[in-house]
Amino acid sequence: MSRRCVVLIGMMGAGKTEVGTLLAEELGYEYLDTDEVVSERAGKSIPKIFAEDGEKVFRELEAEAVRDLVGRRSLVVATGGGAPVDPENARILRALGTVVYLKASAIELYQRIKNDKGRPLLQVENPKGEMAKLLALREPVYKDVADFMMDTEELSVDEVVAELIDELARRTIETQGDE
């Protein structure tokens, strides 16, 4: 592998954290989660930031966490679902290395996280509908920002990681062939 970063993007429930943690282990890379950075810096949980300071402050902290990644190597980065929507975040994430969109349907995403109270954007009357709405808005951005996408709908975390490693290796070999 080229030691450039691997950046995971996609909706809440896409598996970025679990896949990212395992992928980092397998590649011998460091794992970094932008939500964790934001939460550590703010000294409070993501739901608390949203409740006490609002989404705008959260997005500013998120952008700061992304900016701090510039120049890093050998990292697997799990991003918050909204991070790539900001064009400057997207530009920085793309410059870091390979960006992968972990894809699943709105129904599957909802099933995976419906009992999790840690997603402030889904604490609404119709979380299922909100998930579908957000996915429809964001999917074109995810596709545009990502180098490739992986459909995780029917795959376990282990299977996603194994497929990712294969695909990343294939792309590294192809890139070396181009040099």
Residue 120 within binding range of ligand S3P, rule CB under 6 A? yes
The whole-angstrom separation of Cα 81 and Cα 9 is 7
**Which pair of tokens denotes residue 80?**
């918050």
CB-nearer residue toward ligand S3P: 12 or 27: 12
Please, which residue, 61 or 164, has the CB nearer to ligand S3P? 61
With contacts defined by CB under 6 A, how many residues of the chain interact with ligand S3P? 10
> Where do the H-state alpha helices sit in 43-147?
46-53, 55-67, 87-96, 106-113, 127-145
Q: Should residue 49 be labelled a site residue for ligand S3P when binding is judged by CB under 6 A?
A: no
How far is the C-alpha of 30 from the C-alpha of 7, rounded, in Å? 12
CA atoms of 23 and 170, how far apart (whole Å) = 16
User: Rounded to the nearest 10 degrees, what angle do helices 46-53 and 55-67 cross at?
Assistant: 130
Provide the minimum distance between the beta carbon of 35 and ligand S3P in the complex, in angstroms, as a whole number.
Answer: 5
The only residue of 20, 82, 84, 97 in contact with ligand S3P, by rule CB under 6 A: 82
Pick 46 or 100: Cβ nearer ligand S3P: 46
Cβ(104)–Cβ(14) below 8 Å: yes
In this chain, which of 80, 98, 135, 152 binds ligand S3P, going by CB under 6 A? 80
Q: Which of 119, 146, 150, 161 binds ligand S3P (CB under 6 A)?
A: 119
CB nearer ligand S3P, residue 16 or residue 103: 16
Task: Report if residue 146 touches ligand S3P, rule: CB under 6 A.
Answer: no
Q: Are 34 and 127 in contact (CB under 8 A)?
A: no
Q: Which of 5, 7, 8, 12 binds ligand S3P (CB under 6 A)?
A: 12
